[in-house]
Amino acid sequence: MGLMILKGKDIISIKDFSVDEINEILKVSEDFESVARGEKKLDIMNGKVLALLFFEPSTRTRFSFECAMKRLGGETIGFESVESVSVSKGETLADTVRVMEKYSDALVIRHPKEGSARLAAMFSDKPVINAGDGAGHHPTQTLLDLYTIKREKGRIRGIKVAIVGDLKYGRTVHSLAYALAEMGAEILLVSPVGLEMPLEIKKDIEEINGKISEFHSLEDVIGEADVLYVTRIQRERFPDPEEYLKVKGSYRVDLKLLERGKKGIIVMHPLPRVDEISPEVDSTEYAVYFKQTFYGVPVRMALLSMVLGVM
């Protein structure tokens, strides 16, 4: 497959990619690792400008896009809150997009409202990359999650991934579960009662013959999982604070739990974490969440260079 497959394309949802395209992105990402580490220099983005439209705060996503672009010799412009731009004067998203695309070669957008990225793409002649649109999609997060599993476990097919936490409201886990199923991983869903993954997502996954099973306790999966993908459980989802505290405690990943796990088990987390993972895990081989953060750089380098057609 050629490297030009994504040139000029919008990246809105992980579902926009075929399995072959995902594999191609993961392969290209590997080539960029030494550049992402600062060991090798590439100037392929020289003269290029990436616009970052962040209508919501972000650390990881914004800075890893910036790092990806800048290490490759490119530049970024943009905003990280609506206060400093004309949006506060009542400008529509469509107009903001049509303006920003005049100053750039591609746009990255994060917005609290689902569907915003798709809307933005309609009004932009330049490629639009969705960096999270509310309860919608966050395809570059999914790609870096897939890349992390491939790099750390050697492959994705056949790997048992336990997705742990609030699976009802969590932004990224829906598309992650779908993509994992598509790539041949086996999915173990672990969530508190009432925060299970929505039925329609599970149906979507079953339609592509994805292997998926559901649990309510970390204990049920610890002997089986190759990967614990831990996410935050937000206090505000619980009507009863007591209920929250109980759940929070029983979903905490610590060394005692991990030592009973399958050989080679790893812990992932999209970050920021609050206290889902005990700090004692940080310096062990189990902890992959900071590496995962790093992997966002080569993956975004790959995506940007493919979309801008500069490879």
Interface ranges with a copy of itself (CB under 8 A): 35, 38, 41-43, 46-49, 51, 57-60, 63-64, 66-67, 70-71, 73, 75, 77-81, 83-91, 94-96, 98-100, 102-105, 271-274, 279, 290, 293-294, 296-297
Alpha helices by DSSP H, the chain:
19-36, 60-71, 93-100, 116-122, 139-153, 173-182, 199-207, 218-221, 241-250, 255-258, 289-307
Tokens representing 140?
Answer: 């570059």
Least Å distance between CB 293 and a copy of itself? 5
Least Å distance between CB 80 and a copy of itself? 4
How are strands ordered across the β-sheet holding 227-230? 211-215, 186-190, 160-164, 227-230, 266-268
SS3 content of the chain, % helix, strand, coil (to 5): 45, 15, 40
Tokens representing 178?
Answer: 């779908």
How does strand 106-111 pair with strand 49-54? parallel
Our CB check for a copy of itself shows the closer of 6 and 144 to be 144
Least Å distance between CB 39 and a copy of itself? 10
Q: Torsions phi, psi of 296, nearest 5?
A: -60, -30
Our CB check for a copy of itself shows the closer of 51 and 221 to be 51
Least Å distance between CB 86 and a copy of itself? 4
191 neighbors 216 (Cβ within 8 angstroms)? yes
Least Å distance between CB 64 and a copy of itself? 6
Our CB check for a copy of itself shows the closer of 92 and 217 to be 92
Our CB check for a copy of itself shows the closer of 155 and 235 to be 235
Our CB check for a copy of itself shows the closer of 71 and 153 to be 71
Block residue for tokens 């869903």: 189
Residue 211: burial class (beta carbons within 10 Å; 0-12, 13-18, 19+): middle
Least Å distance between CB 108 and a copy of itself? 14
| 3 state DSSP class of 173 | helix
* Amino acid (one-letter) located at 140: T
Our CB check for a copy of itself shows the closer of 222 and 303 to be 303
Our CB check for a copy of itself shows the closer of 210 and 298 to be 298
Least Å distance between CB 160 and a copy of itself? 27
DSSP label at 117?
H
Block residue for tokens 């599993």: 149
